[in-house]
Amino acid sequence: MTDNATTASLHERIEQLKKSLNAIILAHNYQRPEVQDIADITGDSLELSRAAARTDHDVIVFCGVHFMAESASILSPDKTVLLPEIDAGCPMADMVTVEGPRKTRRDFYAKTHGISFTYPDEFTLRDMKNKYPGVPIVAYVNTSAAVKAESDICCTSSNVVKVVESLKEDTIICIPDRNLSSFATRRTSKKIIAWDGFCNTHQRVSAEDVKAAKERHPYARVVVHPECPLDVQDMADHITSTSGMLRYCKESKHNEFIIGTEEGLLHRLKAENPDKAFFILSDAMVCPNMKRTKLESVVRAMEGTEHVIKVPEETRIPAKRALDRMLEIT
């Protein structure tokens, strides 16, 4: 069989499984093109959380990373949530824990990104709370269910400023992304205490990459994600979430765009704007965890009802409070 024929037959099998299981497939904007193409809903973290919360299907197949499937389980506890690739995690989410050492790979990042951390690996969210008693915690959805359960409210890249502004306190702790925290700091008068995590995929782009891309495409608008470093944000024409980028590029009168986020977004950008041109800011913008999920993984998980993600009630209830609080105000 040709590759196209294989893809077509996998698509057909997934359609059958969707019917027999009464399943919905949710895919993040960074997924492989062929995976996005079988999804019922493709979106950013906020859109997918909303979709998970309101679905009446029995099974949610989450093509994304672990924290996303956890959020679906938190919001829809009576559904079976499947994560097709069980090892698809988020290194940024692993940079903050409630108990036990966090995963920072600090020697690796010191060498590759020249980046250091403020706190030791043993420093937990509980230590942060003890250091700043009474200061509310805003947790980016890119965190584990256990971390959400210890937080006051969640946020995504599309609503962080609104969430921060919704709190009555003047000082706020934002976890785990230092770059999203810098983005919010610039847009609020509140004092933000930032955790020291970051996204490996977005942290690796630099101001030099923006300069080089602008030289190659002098008429292009530069659109970047708030997970990018601050000097990259400073050179952008627009900073927003993945679905915010889709809206911005569609509505813009410009025809060329340099895109500073994971390359999977270009699939939808190109499909939805066939007359416009999109260029990835750097070829290094690939999230290996987002790319783990293939059509074969989806078929395997659905056929065997494999890789069920279920958040225990004692964690789910406080984590849901933080997610619901965000969903109520945005």
Of residues 17 and 82, the one with the C-beta less far from ligand SF4 = 82
Of residues 38 and 48, the one with the C-beta less far from ligand 13P = 48
Question: From the CA atom positions of the chain, what is the Rg in Å?
Answer: 20
Binding at 91: pick from ligand SF4, ligand 13P, none (beta carbon under 5-8 Å per type)? ligand SF4
Determine which helix (DSSP H) or strand (DSSP E) holds 71, and give its type and residue range. Answer: helix 66-75
- Strand 23-28: give its sheet, edge to edge: 41-43, 23-28, 59-63, 80-82
Binding at 48: pick from ligand 13P, ligand SF4, none (beta carbon under 5-8 Å per type)? none
> What are phi and psi for residue 18, nearest 5 degrees?
-60, -45
| Residues in contact with 17: Cβ distance below 8 Å, sequence separation at least 6, in sequence order | 23, 299, 302, 303
Pairing of strands 137-140, 256-260: unpaired
Of residues 225 and 320, the one with the C-beta less far from ligand SF4 = 225
Binding at 233: pick from ligand SF4, ligand 13P, none (beta carbon under 5-8 Å per type)? none
Binding at 200: pick from ligand 13P, ligand SF4, none (beta carbon under 5-8 Å per type)? ligand SF4
Q: How far is the CB of 100 from ligand SF4 (least distance, A)?
A: 20
Binding at 26: pick from ligand 13P, ligand SF4, none (beta carbon under 5-8 Å per type)? none
Peptide bond into 176 cis (omega under 30): yes
Q: Which residues bind ligand SF4 (CB under 6 A)?
A: 65, 90-92, 142, 199-201, 262, 287, 289-290
The residue whose two tokens read 């911005």 is 248
Binding at 45: pick from ligand 13P, ligand SF4, none (beta carbon under 5-8 Å per type)? ligand 13P
Residue 220 DSSP class: P
> What are phi and psi for residue 328, nearest 5 degrees?
-65, -35
Of residues 18 and 43, the one with the C-beta less far from ligand SF4 = 43
Q: How far is the CB of 65 from ligand 13P (least distance, A)?
A: 6
Q: How far is the CB of 133 from ligand 13P (least distance, A)?
A: 31
Of residues 45 and 55, the one with the C-beta less far from ligand SF4 = 45
Binding at 157: pick from ligand SF4, ligand 13P, none (beta carbon under 5-8 Å per type)? ligand 13P
Q: Which residues bind ligand 13P (CB under 6 A)?
A: 29, 44-45, 90, 142, 156-157, 199, 227, 241-242
How far CA 265 is from CA of 15, 65, 223, in Å, comes to 23, 15, 12
Of residues 18 and 71, the one with the C-beta less far from ligand 13P = 71
Of residues 17 and 64, the one with the C-beta less far from ligand 13P = 64
- Count Cα neighbours of 251 within 13 Å in the Cβ-side half-sphere: 7
Look at the alpha carbons of 214, 217, 219, 223 in this order and tell me if their dihedral is positive or negative: negative
Q: How far is the CB of 259 from ligand 13P (least distance, A)?
A: 12
Of residues 25 and 299, the one with the C-beta less far from ligand 13P = 25
Token pair of 108, please? 């690796």
Binding at 144: pick from ligand SF4, ligand 13P, none (beta carbon under 5-8 Å per type)? none
Helices (H) and strands (E) in the chain, counts: 16, 12
N-terminal to C-terminal alpha carbon distance within the chain: 47
Give the DSSP per-residue string, 123-147: --HHHHHHHSTT--EEEESSS-HHH
Q: How far is the CB of 222 from ligand 13P (least distance, A)?
A: 17
Q: How far is the CB of 226 from ligand SF4 (least distance, A)?
A: 11
